[in-house]
Chains A and B, each alone.
Chain A
Amino acid sequence: MTYGELRMTPTSERGRALSILVDGEAVIAYEGESLAAALLASGRRFTRWTAKSGEARGYFCGMGVCQDCLVTVDGLPNVRACMATVKDRLRVETQRGLGDWGVTP
């Protein structure tokens, strides 16, 4: 999947361009897009690996119900990408399992 082919409208019709960081890589997004939309448009189909079997999951229902499109945003795990809106310099990490809280039990 090459980045850029999936947006259906020219950039002139989208919001202001901004840059988010996904697993350390700069990714272009447009103001107003959901995080899920921006990730998909950049060719990133999965947002996490599950806790039990480590299988890849991503966008499924698109309306905040299935809780599958979870990512870690600015250090906070378990954020639904389809319900989050992109912001300039947002730091996004695909999530392993239940996410990292920065705490050792």
Chain B
Amino acid sequence: MRSVECVIVGGGPAGLAAARTAARHGVRVLLVDENPGLGGQYYRQMPATFRAPDHAKLGTESLEGRRLIDEVQALGVELRLDSVVWGIFDQRIVALATRDETQRIEAQTLILAPGAYDRPVPFPGWTLPGVITAGGAQNLMKGYRILPGRRVLIAGSGPLLLVVAHHLLSGGAHVAAICEAASMRQLWRYAHRLLPHLNFVQQGYRYRREIKDASVPFMTGHVIRRAVGRSEVTGAVVTHCDDQWRPVGGTELHFDVDTVVVGYGFVSSLELSRLAGCEHRYEPGLGGYVPVRNREMESTVPGVFIVGDGAGVAGSAVALEEGHMAGLTVANRLGRLLGRDHSREASRARGRLLHLAGFRRVMDGLYRFGPGLYTLANEQTTLCRCEEVTVAEALEAVRDGAGHVNEVKAWTRVGMGRCQGRMCGPALAHLIAGATGKAVADAGIFTPRPPVKPVALAALAREAS
């Protein structure tokens, strides 16, 4: 079996930064990503076949990403694209698969940078074609220069909503409204703490100006109530919500749209870190579990590091810095960066992370996840998209005594479909908590089992030498 000094899983900002730093110090790095190109979600690039890419319209991330990707490639980092890491065995044996074959690699050090995905929030009509996530909208517009629709409602929370609106408007789409779940009061409570972070404030102001000029209503304290349509979206209904983002009865506003973009934050991809045996702890402020790490980004499993949004969603600046920190630690661990050289770099990185932590705390406060979102679904709403299991069926299992997501899964097939519980897990935990009075953390998460992404039997069967 091949042994590699440093295997990095995930080619987004965190993984790329880790690869750059480690490679700069002479570590031999193998970087694996499921996509055909590097960049992950945040640094998603347009296809190489597209000519004269209009970076100006795309924003600076595209250029930043391009530069980092070029650096990583120039440093001779070995790449495995279109490859999914589907399992981690014996703590650091990495199993990866392409469409046709599987390969086992022993990682002397392993950096997990799996990122996050849009928080799935079930609501009536959420399975209709035309309902897409904010991340999905961004991928279409930034990655392929295609509008998701012509008349769009945006509902969610956080600055990403403004970015999505900006791209939609630049493409000539009609943005019917932006519904921000956080209330104006909540936003103002933290707004002054943003002042030290001038760039962010300026950018935010520019976006707000743009949507104002385009007469797009920006409604705070509002959530999506339902998407309307028979076989695709023809409209959307929004309503007021309270501080917990629970819909409050009364006025419902109906919008004539063909697309609903939902962006209620992100959840970390924890399947690999769990499979590797890393410890996790529940963070109510982030609305989920995060892996336990020390200052050097090392998890509770020696030699396994976790960085970026996969360790708790904190944005790209943090991801880059954490990746860099892990790269330093790996270089040190492998004897390429020692003594004062290492400690000097590490302490600089720590300083920057501390500064960023302040910004993060403000952002987490501003857009603090409201568990009321999980009351949007009614009994008929599909909870498990893959297996088409409704909220009612899941609740029946709870009434029959199921008190943990794994039990509801065993009795109803929720979480047994192709997405392996990613779309329904968070909502199910809240559903169980609401029905039993348990804490959400105690309702649990689905036990991750290999493969963490579906892998064809033929690919599993064929072992690359």
Determine if chain A interacts with chain B: yes
Instruction: Report chain A residues within 8 Å CB of B453.
Output: 64
**Is the pair A14, B136 in contact by a Cβ cutoff of 8 Å?**
no
| A31-B47 in contact given A9-B54, A37-B144, A59-B129 (Cβ < 8 Å) | yes
Total interface residues on B, CB under 8 Å, equals: 55
**Is the pair B258, A1 in contact by a Cβ cutoff of 8 Å?**
yes
**Is the pair A32, B127 in contact by a Cβ cutoff of 8 Å?**
no
Judge if A40 is at the interface, Cβ distance under 8 Å.
yes
CA distance A64 to B35 in the complex (A): 9
Judge if A85 is at the interface, Cβ distance under 8 Å.
yes
**Is the pair A63, B139 in contact by a Cβ cutoff of 8 Å?**
yes
| A32-B129 in contact given A1-B258, A6-B150, A82-B139 (Cβ < 8 Å) | no
Write 29 A-B pairs (CB below 8 A) sorted by A numbering.
Answer: A5-B147, A6-B147, A6-B148, A8-B171, A13-B54, A13-B145, A14-B145, A15-B50, A30-B50, A31-B47, A34-B144, A45-B129, A50-B388, A56-B129, A56-B231, A57-B129, A58-B130, A58-B232, A59-B148, A60-B132, A60-B385, A61-B118, A61-B132, A61-B133, A67-B417, A68-B127, A68-B386, A83-B35, A85-B47
**Is the pair B135, A63 in contact by a Cβ cutoff of 8 Å?**
yes
Contact of B51 among A6, A15, A51, A60 (CB under 8 A): A15
Q: Could you tell me which B residues sit within 8 Å of A by CB distance? A: 34-36, 41, 46-54, 117-118, 120, 127-133, 135-141, 143-150, 170-172, 231-232, 258, 385-388, 417-419, 422-423, 453-454
A16, A37, A50 pick with most chain B CB within 10 angstroms: A37
Could you tell me the distance in whole angstroms from the C-beta of A35 to the nearest C-beta in chain B? 10
Interface residues on A, range: 35 or more
CA distance A1 to B232 in the complex (A): 12
Instruction: Report chain B residues within 8 Å CB of A52.
Output: 387-388
**Is the pair A32, B48 in contact by a Cβ cutoff of 8 Å?**
yes
7 additional A-B pairs beyond A7-B147, A15-B51, A63-B139, beta carbons within 8 Å, are A13-B54, A14-B51, A53-B388, A62-B137, A62-B139, A63-B117, A67-B386
Q: Which residues of A from 42 to 94 have beta carbons under 8 Å from B?
A: 45-46, 50-53, 55-68, 70, 78, 82-83, 85
B137, B150, B386 pick with most chain A CB within 10 angstroms: B386
Judge if A12 is at the interface, Cβ distance under 8 Å.
yes
Instruction: Report chain B residues within 8 Å CB of A55.
Output: 127, 231, 388
CA distance A68 to B35 in the complex (A): 17
| A67-B418 in contact given A45-B129, A58-B130 (Cβ < 8 Å) | yes
CA distance A63 to B48 in the complex (A): 18
Looking at chain A's contact residues, is the secondary structure mostly helix, strand, loop, or mixed?
Answer: loop
Could you tell me the distance in whole angstroms from the C-beta of B433 to the nearest C-beta in chain A? 23
Could you tell me the distance in whole angstroms from the C-beta of A27 to the nearest C-beta in chain B? 13
B117, B129, B137 pick with most chain A CB within 10 angstroms: B129
Contact of A60 among B131, B144, B145, B171 (CB under 8 A): B131
Instruction: Report chain A residues within 8 Å CB of B53.
Output: 13
CA distance A73 to B166 in the complex (A): 34
Judge if A41 is at the interface, Cβ distance under 8 Å.
yes
Instruction: Report chain A residues within 8 Å CB of B150.
Output: 1, 5-6
| A40-B146 in contact given A8-B171, A14-B51, A78-B418 (Cβ < 8 Å) | yes
CA distance A34 to B146 in the complex (A): 11
Could you tell me the distance in whole angstroms from the C-beta of B218 to the nearest C-beta in chain A? 23
| A60-B147 in contact given A13-B51, A46-B232, A67-B419 (Cβ < 8 Å) | no
Instruction: Report chain B residues within 8 Å CB of A62.
Output: 132-133, 135-140
Q: What residue in chain B is nearest A46 (Cβ atoms)? A: B129
Could you tell me the distance in whole angstroms from the C-beta of A33 to the nearest C-beta in chain B? 5
Instruction: Report chain A residues within 8 Å CB of B231.
Output: 46, 55-56
Instruction: Report chain B residues within 8 Å CB of A5.
Output: 147, 150
CA distance A7 to B53 in the complex (A): 14
Q: What residue in chain B is nearest A32 (Cβ atoms)? A: B47
CA distance A66 to B262 in the complex (A): 14
Instruction: Report chain A residues within 8 Å CB of B417.
Output: 67
CA distance A36 to B128 in the complex (A): 16
Q: What residue in chain A is nearest B418 (Cβ atoms)? A: A67
Instruction: Report chain B residues within 8 Å CB of A53.
Output: 388
Could you tell me the distance in whole angstroms from the C-beta of A42 to the nearest C-beta in chain B? 10
Instruction: Report chain B residues within 8 Å CB of A61.
Output: 117-118, 132-133, 135-136, 423
Instruction: Report chain B residues within 8 Å CB of A40.
Output: 140, 146, 148
Instruction: Report chain A residues within 8 Å CB of B50.
Output: 9, 13-15, 30, 32
Instruction: Report chain A residues within 8 Å CB of B128.
Output: 56
**Is the pair B232, A56 in contact by a Cβ cutoff of 8 Å?**
yes
Instruction: Report chain A residues within 8 Å CB of B49.
Output: 14-16, 30-32
Instruction: Report chain B residues within 8 Å CB of A64.
Output: 34-35, 453
Q: What residue in chain B is nearest A9 (Cβ atoms)? A: B145
CA distance A83 to B132 in the complex (A): 16
Instruction: Report chain A residues within 8 Å CB of B118.
Output: 61
CA distance A101 to B160 in the complex (A): 41
**Is the pair B36, A85 in contact by a Cβ cutoff of 8 Å?**
yes
Could you tell me the distance in whole angstroms from the C-beta of A7 to the nearest C-beta in chain B? 6
Contact of B136 among A16, A46, A60 (CB under 8 A): A60
CA distance A26 to B54 in the complex (A): 29
